Each structure stands twice: as C-alpha cells, then as structure tokens.
Amino acid sequence: MTLREQLKELADGSANRHPEKAQDIMRTAIRQLESTTILEQALKTGDIIPEIRLSNANGEIIDIRSILKKHKVVLAFYRGAWCPYCNLELRALQNALPEIEAKGAKLVAISPQTPDNTLTTVEKNELSFEVLSDVDGIVGRKMKLIYTLPSELVELYKSFKIDLKKSNGNLENELPIAATYIVEQDGNISYHFLAEDYKLRADPEDIIKSL
C-alpha cells in the first residue's frame, strides 16, 4: 500500500472508532484552519529556507546548511509521536530512505517535540535518518507553518491522553501543519507539500519523483 492509501485506511478507521461529537470537533478544527491564510503564507517552491540548527534525538546540533554542502535535503515536518498519521509517514519515509539517498538527498524530519520525546519517536519507528527537535516551533515559525489548536481540540486530545505541553514543552498548544520540502544545495525549495488536514501527507513516491 502507498502511504496515501495507508493514511486513508487509518482515517476511515478513526471515523468508526470515535463518537460523532469527537469527529465533529476534529472536522471543525480542520475547517477553521482551512479558512486561514496559512497555506498562502507558508514557504513553498521558489523560496529559500531560513537557517535551521536544531538538536537531534541524541542532543547533537544539526545544521541543515552543512548538510546542503554535499546533498539535497528532504525536510518533513510532523506533529509528534502521539500522532498515528505522523508515525505512518515516518515509517513510510524510512522504507523509502534508500531511494531518497540514491537520488543524492538526505532526509531530515522536524517536530516540536522535546529531545527526549524525539528519541522515543526514533526508537519506536526504528528510524535511521535525522529527527530534529524544534521546541517552541522556532524553525516552524520561520517557515510560517505554525498554528494554535482550538481549545475544544486541545480538550479532546486530553481525553485521548495526549498532553501536548508534556510532549512539546510548549504552553501555547502550537503545532506545524503537515509540510514536506525538497531543498536544493543552494537553499532553494524545489518541491513542497502543504496541507491543513493532518491526515494528508506527501507520498514518498511523489518525493522520489521530484528529486
């Protein structure tokens, strides 16, 4: 199955698992985000990425500009280890990693999780690419990807035992939208995928074709 098919299957199952009230809260949150200008403002093809220096799961500072000296970079922004759609995406990217690297690119994932929770994500999904911690969404904000969750959705997540403040170390309940970029060695973005709906992600097949 492609990632796109896996995500749809998960979304269909989620709709069956959750009561209508919970589904309505989640759908309303997506519609509210779709009514904003976040996609218009977000960096996209033709833009140049900002400086990105973040800690990886082992506490080492990774500088994207240093990687770009030798390779293109595929940047994938995701919400966190608590998000099943994100975990599907990360595993699909891991499976596609040999093809991505064969195209001369390095894969880097970025989330607002704290380094400890980033390490959990790496271990849980057996990832062999860099996963960076963007606490407080500093880089995500530069890329104009950050939004604040509505209070109703925050409370719903709490009922699911999802504690964003604990996971991300952020008090504002902020997350990045789903976003994937291909960055050329000069820092220019040559491919982008952006979606307000967290159930949608860039399919690895499309990324590989665009490298």
Give residue 138's identity as a one-letter amino acid code.
I
The DSSP code for 187 is: S
Catalytic residue among 54, 57, 67, 86: 86
Task: Kindly tell me the burial class for residue 130, based on how many C-beta atoms sit within 10 Å of its own C-beta (0-12, 13-18, 19 or more).
Answer: buried
Give the DSSP H or E segment for 3: helix 3-17
Token digits of residue 44: 């996209």
83 is catalytic: no
Do the Cβ atoms of 42 and 143 come closer than 8 Å? Answer: yes
The set of catalytic residues is: 86
